[in-house]
Amino acid sequence: MKKSIACIAILLVFGVTGAAAEEMAVPPSQFITASVPYLTWTGFYVGINGGFAWGNSSIAFTANDPAALAGTCGGGGAPKGQCINSVDFRRDGAVAGGQFGFNWQVNSHWLVGAEADYQWSNLDGSVSSSFRLGNVGATNMVASQTVESFGTVRARAGVVLAPPLLLYGTGGFAFGQVHENLSVPAVATKGLSAGGFSYACTAGTACFAGAASQTLLGWSAGAGAEYAITSNLIFRTELLYVHLSAPTVTATATAVVAGTAPASIAASFSSVYFAVMRAGLNYKF
């Protein structure tokens, strides 16, 4: 009887020791980073992202007063003025920023949520339109536009294909900080006046110049995919389209004939629209 009890005690000791050794063989970090067989997507998250954006735009030019009209499409002066042709150009550049949001998993397959993001960007482009400025000669209207930053506030809806993989669509409000520059270099020291307006150019300087920085509003829509690396770390890729309103900028004569007002030319940019391809990493709380 005593021998039986001793044998049972020895077996229990070795069994407990073996189980403890087996647990200690699993690195502590694995409990933090190991993926889980089932993931609930419900909860708040915050993350970072980076990528590239690109888009096209166009500009049309219009004289604002009699002197600007005579010096361009009005054909005034010698040499005669000539219209400034509309031009197209491309904007592109890198983007980087962050996002935060909330997901609510309705059931095992469907998810809805909301997200806001803000991006720093260097999405810029420039173009030059050749024309003849009345009484001055052949020159160019040089224009540039830069999307310096933008952000969105969007709703999301997605489908969970498997516990770690989510596909979603998204859409909502967008805003952006956009900067434009205009310049007409002077090729001769001459000018023109008409109807109480004028421009007086000096060779080697800008005859007309203008700049504007403004916040534009619009909308955005896109789609993406997310993959749960762990129960907390979520990798994502996203393609987003952003469409902002159309800005207008004025180039004003830098010098005038005495007793007259400065002539000016309006540059009407098309809507600021671009696509964004980006990847990011979220932490889900």
**Region 22-51: what's the mean pLDDT?**
68
Among 30-34, 168-172, 185-189, whose mean pLDDT is lowest?
A: 30-34
DSSP per residue, 164-186: TEEEEEEEEEEEEEEEEEEEEE-
Q: State the distance between the two ends of the chain, measured CA to CA, in whole angstroms.
A: 57
Percent of the chain with pLDDT over 90: 84
**Radius of gyration for the alpha carbons in the chain, expressed in angstroms and rounded:** 32
pLDDT at site 10: 40
Structure tokens at 163: 């516990």
Q: Give whole-number Cα distances, 144 to 75, 78, 209, 211, 267, in Å.
A: 26, 29, 12, 9, 11
pLDDT of residue 100 exceeding 70, the answer is yes
User: Residue 27 — very low, low, confident or very high, per pLDDT cuts 50/70/90?
Assistant: low
pLDDT of residue 91 exceeding 60, the answer is yes
pLDDT at site 37: 54
Task: Quote the CA–CA distance of 231 and 229 in Å, as a whole number.
Answer: 7
Q: What is the pLDDT of residues 122-167, one digit of tens each?
A: 999 999 999 999 999 999 999 999 999 999 999 999 999 988 999 9
DSSP state for residue 65 in the 8-state scheme = S
Residue linked to tokens 């002197």 = 67
| pTM value surpassing 0.75 | yes
pLDDT at site 52: 98
User: Residue 108 — very low, low, confident or very high, per pLDDT cuts 50/70/90?
Assistant: confident
Q: What is the pLDDT of residues 194-207, one digit of tens each?
A: 999 999 999 999 99
**Region 40-67: what's the mean pLDDT?**
96
Q: Where are the alpha helices (DSSP H) in the chain?
A: 2-24, 28-33, 66-71
pLDDT at site 163: 80
pLDDT of residue 11 exceeding 90, the answer is no
Number of residues assigned to the chain: 285
**Region 30-49: what's the mean pLDDT?**
74
User: Residue 224 — very low, low, confident or very high, per pLDDT cuts 50/70/90?
Assistant: very high
**Region 28-53: what's the mean pLDDT?**
75
Mean residue pLDDT of the chain comes to: 89
Q: Who wins on pLDDT, 54 or 39?
A: 54
